[in-house]
Amino acid sequence: METSKLTGKRIKEYLFQGKRFDGRNLEEFRKITIEKNVSKKAEGSARVKIGNTDVIVGVKLDVSEPYPDSPNKGNLMVTTELLPLSSDRFESGPPRFPAIELGRLIDRGIRESKFIELEKLCIKEGEKVWSVFIDIYPLNNDGNLIDAAGIGAIIALKTARFPKYDEETGRVVYGEFTDKKIPLSKDIPLIITTHKAGESIIVDPTLEEEDVTDVRVTIGGSVNGLIFSLQKGNSKELTIEEMSKILDFSEKARKKVFSEIERYLN
Amino acid sequence: MTKEKNNREIVIPGEVIAKGEEYLPGEGTEKIGNEIIAIKYGLAEEFNRLIRIIPLSGVYQPRNGNVIIGEVENITFYGWVVGLDAPEDAFLPLQEVPKYVSKDGLSDVFDIGDMLVAKIVGITNRGIDLTVKGRGLGKVEGGIIIKINPSKVPRIIGKEGSMINIIKQESNCDITVGQNGLIWIKGDEIENELLVKKAINFIAEKSFASGLTDEIKDWFEKEKNEGKRSKK
């Protein structure tokens, strides 16, 4: 059930006082728990929990043809399936707008940051390159799926190992892993979504809060303050002051989240 | 079924609860041949050879006379379509509102997105009919709405309202519990409303335990002390 108008009004009133229903600050994240290598068959995987939100991200590698416009670069593909088990709002079937958008947001954040050194994934120019597939599966949706998926994606990429590649037959031998890791750059893109509810700017909303937010801004950036990607969601507008506040909030949140997940990044 | 009286047993759909002609099927059960079979997941209970199941989960099953909380989803020429968070929507006809409503003014009385407390007056194959004639029924204003599993509603209310009265006393809030699992909480302060929300979730989580009414008193004591400490 969607959050009712009445509850929404109360949430906004409370946010205006600087308080949240679960007792957090406006710029505070819920507890983040991370589990690495949850899947035995995937090349890399991670399970990220932010509060009650629970997401599994898997990385799969395959050898395929490069795209004509990037003959010497590997391919990157991010797909999301919003599983019906994770929320009463998701239905099975072909992906709809929210699922496609979530995939695109993570894709853009990772691609534009040049986090994966796609040039190094080339086997033979114009013929064979490695393809990286990132699959996102939410197990429980209690708001802020985007950030959870973003954290999951970078950790899954960090843990991923190449499978054995048989050069004679040109096939990938799944199930046999090598020690080689995906070539990654040092600039880690952390995707943080900031929301505006009423007059207040918040990060990491619960599902209830997410229902009443007017504007959503997703920013992919590094801890040093570099911004790689930016997308605004929902239909309301923002003033310049609000936008600078959002940038400020997301940078603070990014530093805090990074310090929490840093130990999983090795 | 070889078990003592008052000994409740967890059953799953399809399970044979009892064999024999002397047993009668009650709520959540079906008689096939001379076997009583569960059609719901819940606790099986026997009373005077009548076997019934107290469901532990599942969607709301509308019943005549139930007081529910619903959300206006649509306005038609003759009334309002009300969502109950159940498989079926309900309908509130114009004549069931205790005041004059002009044909153009339906949205002034209840607009889309408004929440209302209503009573089910009829369940036909055409649908579920509601009324807002009666004490305590009508539009809800202010406060918050929370949702719990409808099968937990009896626990929240308690024996003859014992549980809900404790919560009301301790928190100074108005609480209306809809049989469909929606609960409306209104207090002077948002903190009190949130305390009720926490208490109700606590009960819903512990709904299997016995002696909950005493436990909830201690729980409130504890919560209030903690609240005082954090204020200091």
Query: What is the predicted pLDDT for the residue at A55?
Result: 96
Q: Which residue stretches of chain B have pLDDT < 70?
A: 1-7, 228-232
Subunit contact B113:A21, Cβ cutoff 8 A: no
Helices of type H across B62-211: 106-109, 153-157, 162-171, 190-205
**Is B144-231 the same fold as B67-139?**
no
Q: How far is B124 from chain A (nearest CA, A)?
A: 25
Burial (Cβ within 10 Å: 0-12, 13-18, ≥19) of residue B59: middle
ipTM for this prediction: 0.77
Residues in A 16-45 with any Cβ partner in B closer than 8 A: 19, 21
Mean of the per-residue pLDDT values of chain A: 91
B140 touches A at CB < 8 Å: yes
In CATH, what class is B9-55?
mainly beta
Subunit contact B113:A4, Cβ cutoff 8 A: yes
Q: How far is A88 from chain B (nearest CA, A)?
A: 11
Subunit contact A1:B194, Cβ cutoff 8 A: no
Query: What is the predicted pLDDT for the residue at B230?
Result: 63
Name chain A contacts of B227, Cβ cutoff 8 Å: none
Q: Which residue stretches of chain A have pLDDT < 70?
A: none
DSSP at B99: S
Subunit contact B145:A4, Cβ cutoff 8 A: yes
Instruction: Specify the residue for token string 């026997």.
Output: B46
Subunit contact A6:B144, Cβ cutoff 8 A: yes
pLDDT digits (tens, 9 = 90+) for A175-202: 888 989 999 998 899 999 999 988 899 9
Query: What is the predicted pLDDT for the residue at B191?
Result: 87
Percent of chain A with pLDDT over 70: 100
- Please spell the DSSP secondary structure of A17-61, one letter per residue: TT--TTS--TT----EEEEE---SSSSEEEEEEETTEEEEEEEEE
Distances (CA, A) of A191 to A154, A183, A229: 10, 20, 9
Name chain B contacts of A4, Cβ cutoff 8 Å: 71, 113, 115, 145
Subunit contact B145:A6, Cβ cutoff 8 A: yes
pLDDT digits (tens, 9 = 90+) for B37-94: 999 888 888 888 888 888 888 888 888 999 999 999 999 998 999 998 888 899 999 9
Subunit contact B145:A7, Cβ cutoff 8 A: yes
Assess contact for A57 and A136: CB atoms under 8 A.
Answer: yes
B115 touches A at CB < 8 Å: yes
Bridge partner residues of B93 (DSSP): B79
Cα gap B126→B124, rounded to integer Å: 5
Name chain B contacts of A19, Cβ cutoff 8 Å: 190
Bridge partner residues of A194 (DSSP): A203, A217
Size of interface A-B (CB pairs under 8 A): 29
Mutate: best of A7, A209, A211, partner B, most B CBs <10 A: A7
Q: How far is A25 from chain B (nearest CA, A)?
A: 15
Domains, chain A? 5-264 (3.30.230.70)
DSSP at A116: B
Among 3.30.360.10, 3.30.870.10, 3.40.718.10, 3.30.1370.10, name the CATH number for the domain at B144-231: 3.30.1370.10
Cα gap A7→B184, rounded to integer Å: 10
**Residue ranges of the domains in chain B?**
9-55, 67-139, 144-231
- Please spell the DSSP secondary structure of A172-233, one letter per residue: EEEEEEEEEE--B-S---EEEEEEEETTEEEES--HHHHHH-SEEEEEEE-TTS-EEEEEEE
Query: What is the predicted pLDDT for the residue at B228?
Result: 67
In CATH, what class is B67-139?
mainly beta
Query: What is the predicted pLDDT for the residue at B7?
Result: 66
Of all residues in chain A, the one with the smallest CA distance to B147 is: A1
